[in-house]
Amino acid sequence: MCAFNPRKLRKMLKNLDLSNLRLEEVPNVVKVEIVLRDGSRIVIDAPAVARMNIGGLVVFQIQAQSSSIRREEKSQPVIQGQALIMSSGEEKKPYTDEDVELVMQETGCSREEAIRALEETKGDIAEAIMLLRERKSGS
């Protein structure tokens, strides 16, 4: 596993006069999926992920061994703003039970709060975690 070195990165940021940026490791990341418009995906297993804010913009840094990166051809085209409907007529949730568990683990929230956040963010785990953390810090 290729792990990033926060000390070296901070030193580089200091040289770029960006030392006031906070680089935070995102723990317990199992997989990162990048969904392309044509429905194909880039899947990265066991990456090291860091997050930083730059002037209100959130930047994620993903590092992984090239052997843990694969491309999966399209299964279904991406439909934005619509729920996916299964052939049985049952609506498919935009998240899995593992996603709910991960959000609960990362934020310390209840199962219901995690599900609500995942539904609000259309299954985007990172966005759901950030949403719940913002709500928690705003309280």
d(CA 139, CA 130): 14
- The separation between the first and the last C-alpha atoms of the chain, rounded to the nearest angstrom, is 38
Instruction: Tell which of 32, 58, 77 closes a domain.
Output: 77
User: Do 29 and 49 touch, CB atoms closer than 8 A?
Assistant: yes
Domain co-membership, 72 together with 95 = no
Q: Is the pTM of this model over 0.85?
A: no
Domain co-membership, 54 together with 87 = no
d(CA 4, CA 87): 43
Which residue is listed with tokens 């995906």? 41
Per residue in 1-46, pLDDT (tens digit) is: 456 677 777 777 666 655 556 778 999 999 999 888 888 889 999 9
Instruction: Tell which of 45, 77, 109 closes a domain.
Output: 77
Domain co-membership, 62 together with 114 = no
Range of the domain at 133: 79-139
Domain co-membership, 4 together with 60 = yes
Domain co-membership, 63 together with 84 = no
